[in-house]
Structure 1
Amino acid sequence: MSEHAPVGGRSAQLKHTGLRPGWTTGACATAATTAAYTALLTGDFPDPVTITLPKGQTPAFALAAEELARGRATAAVVKDAGDDPDVTHGALIRASVRVLPAGSGVVFRAGPGVGTVTRPGLPLDVGEPAINPVPRQMMRDHVAEVAARHGGAGDVEITVSVDHGEEIARSTWNPRLGILGGLSVLGTTGVVVPYSCSAWIDSIRRGVDVARAAGRTHVAGCTGSTSEKTVVALYGLPEDALLDMGDFAGAVLKYVRRHPVERLTVCGGFAKLSKLAAGHMDLHSARSQVDKGFLAELARRGGADEELAAEVAAANTGLAALQSCAAGGVPLGDLVAATARDQALEVLRGAPVTVDVVCVDRAGTVVGRSTPKGP
């Protein structure tokens, strides 16, 4: 998905990284709203349209579409996520603004491709369009500024749409969170920081919120679809109790520490969870590695002799280390699971959460499992 319209008004690169930042869907919706309401009051669309973000940046957005009719104006911008691998990069964000009777304030609607909240636990009420609080405030602020500048009353209905948003949303957490019909309009700063994974981590948090609101007492943080299938088979957990943790074990643990559930299962591949056992909270291969020396020490604790420990330390992969220990009668998978559980409890810092860990291979077979343990 490539950019279809130029977007200006920002530094070309993030300091130190060489990566180009982008704009959130909330910033794009605010830009489109500002342009549409300006056209509604003046007859002309500002192009490019400049907005002010919460931290003071003033980016300018080129318009990709505009339409002015009696009592309504619509503008659109193409989302540029910069160098972040964002599924909404290149999406066309539209805002349609309609004048309402005096005293109506600003009313938000979900157009095609924007979801609607259907479950409690999110920062929006059930039935509301999935336009998050900060983007809503940004749009309100810009409506007020345009009204003050051009003599409007500021009483408007804003309908936000995203072309093909319902299809794109299938690649996001929205269906699991009970946001149906499309994407969410997101962002707290207006800026997308490449590879910060802030949207994924925010989805983890919202997943915990939805599970708690649904009364779930047992949730599972899973590294992928295979581990999800395993915990469903083991525990019969419903979909809204499954957290797509990916590599962000620390994000799950830190949020559950502040928002406890009775029981947390962490399930994932043996190699990834060996990193958690070694104290890593980010399990991505670019940011943490399987420590074969650590695995060798665990094997010694499990009864491995020095020959087997040396074989583990020299193994090419975590799976090879696991297989060597299995042949030698050492339960390395269970040792990794128990040590990862204890690391998780350290991060939880006494929060009232019982934790267990399940390690699986690529086929989903359980190769290590801890007993549940609480604070």
Structure 2
Amino acid sequence: MTGNQKLKSGISTGACAAAAAKAAALALFKNKYHNQLTVTNPQGRKITVPINRYIKIPDGQGAVVIKDGGDDPDVTHGLEIIASISRTHDGTITIQGGEGVGTVTKPGLQVAVGQSAINPVPLWMINNALAEVIPPDTGCTVTISVPGGEAVARRTLNPRLGIVGGISILGTTGIVRPMSEEAFKNSLLPLIDMAVAHGYDQVVLTPGRMGVRWATNQGLPEKAVVEMSNFVGFMLEGCVARGIKKVLLWGHHGKLIKIAAGIFHTHSKVADARQETLAALAASLGAGPAIVSNVLACTTTEAIVDILTQERLTKVLDLAAQRASARAAIHVQGKLVVGTALLNMKGEVLAADRPARVIGRELGWHISL
């Protein structure tokens, strides 16, 4: 792709659902069948959405929109978003989730427990689209379905968020911006909200699902374990904004060692310095030039740990944990108490500073102080 080539935006599941509902309503109430329709987002922007096909259902009508992620496709790209509509006689409009749309089972999200996982903006867009075409005082039930949504949802954060049975119908603008790291970052914040909703003011931040498994295996409560991906600084700031008091940084030493160097976006394309950081710490504890050179020559941090073990320099890892905690606390201007635990690929703890042990014990981790 050249630097001048413009990336194509996509359409959110929420905008797809709104367009499908509008198409189904037009077919049912006005006998009109469109190849594309426009829906409006809360900012007033008109979004044009292709209609894939129509489905005849008993006592109603259905319409299908194919989810298009644009040039930043996610796991929902290509799924069918189906709206089925049928008349009712009570004058009210009911919008519900069907096959492949998840149900919220845990507090702390924008949608109440027991409700279909259709977020507020998509719900607003669906209601707004229906209001444009449904005759006054006319009642109907609209069901949003996503065939295959339950299987796809297993590859999302929904299981961690307590959304079962399918995907969420999402979107704040109706548009999916290509290459949006910001959207991914924001999708992680509800995990902090959920921890707060369950009464926690201290959480475990870990890079990914492997860290979640290691944490729960050690007795830490799953509801207090939050995936942060590579966005350490962003998630620390998110914790502060939500009233969290203490954070335990928990994960593989190869990822968390970067925090000890003051790196708060840990993707390898952004910053690395793993070897250099461990080499500098080893030198500060008395390692000679030969050991430092060997550390710098390693291609993995596992190999570095082997060298440190052979040279009886495992205190380097203790120092790394302490420095990671200190740098993280500085990053949020001391608004969090931070501890760090470094683990190997077996989920075994290689080093944990005292704040990590205190926070961990308070959360149920059985470790000595």
Task: Name the SS for the 1:310 alignment partner.
Answer: helix
Aligned counterpart, 2:124: 137
Q: Distance in 2 between matches of 1:16 and 1:360?
A: 44
5 Å-filtered alignment, 1:234-245, equals 234=218, 236-245=219-228
Give the TM-score normalised by the residue count of structure 1.
0.85
* TM-aligned CA distance change 1:256 to 1:16, over 3 Å: farther
Q: CA deviation at 1:256?
A: 0.5
Identify the match of residue 318 of structure 1 among 293, 297, 301.
301
Deviations 1:73-123 (A, max 9, x none): 21111111123241111111111223444652x422111111111111111
* TM-aligned CA distance change 1:142 to 1:204, over 3 Å: same
Give 1:363's aligned amino acid.
K
Task: Name the SS for the 2:95 alignment partner.
Answer: strand
* Counterpart contact for 2:91–2:140, Cα < 8 Å: no
* Counterpart contact for 1:144–1:154, Cα < 8 Å: no
Q: CA deviation at 1:217?
A: 4.3
Q: State the number of aligned residues.
A: 356
* Counterpart contact for 1:322–1:332, Cα < 8 Å: no
* TM-aligned CA distance change 1:34 to 1:285, over 3 Å: same
Q: CA deviation at 1:154?
A: 6.4
* Counterpart contact for 1:131–1:184, Cα < 8 Å: yes
Aligned counterpart, 2:206: 222
Q: CA deviation at 1:160?
A: 0.9
Aligned counterpart, 1:345: 329
Aligned counterpart, 1:75: 63
Q: Distance in 1 between matches of 2:178 and 2:77?
A: 12
* Counterpart contact for 2:25–2:133, Cα < 8 Å: yes
Q: Distance in 2 between matches of 1:275 and 1:138?
A: 43
Give 2:107's aligned amino acid.
P
* TM-aligned CA distance change 1:221 to 1:323, over 3 Å: same
Q: Does 1:29 align with 2:17?
A: yes
Identify the match of residue 109 of structure 2 among 101, 122, 128.
122
Give 1:326's aligned amino acid.
T
Deviations 1:31-84 (A, max 9, x none): 111211222221012112222344555443322231345753211111111232
Identify the match of residue 95 of structure 2 among 108, 112, 133.
108
Q: CA deviation at 1:262?
A: 4.1
Listed as ranges, the gaps of 5+ residues in structure 1 are 1-12
The percent of aligned pairs where both chains have the same amino acid is 36
Identify the match of residue 243 of structure 2 among 219, 237, 260.
260
Moved more, 166-175 or 318-327: 318-327
Deviations 1:202-246 (A, max 9, x none): 342111111211123442222233322332233x12322222222
* TM-aligned CA distance change 1:227 to 1:146, over 3 Å: same
Q: CA deviation at 1:329?
A: 2.5
Q: CA deviation at 1:184?
A: 0.6
Give 1:255's aligned amino acid.
G
Q: Distance in 2 between matches of 1:15 and 1:57?
A: 27
Aligned counterpart, 1:171: 155
Aligned counterpart, 2:170: 186
Task: Name the SS for the 1:232 alignment partner.
Answer: helix
Give 2:310's aligned amino acid.
A
Deviations 1:176-210 (A, max 9, x none): 21112211101112222233245543342111111
Give the TM-score normalised by the residue count of structure 2.
0.86
Q: Distance in 2 between matches of 1:46 and 1:154?
A: 22
Listed as ranges, the gaps of 5+ residues in structure 2 are 359-369
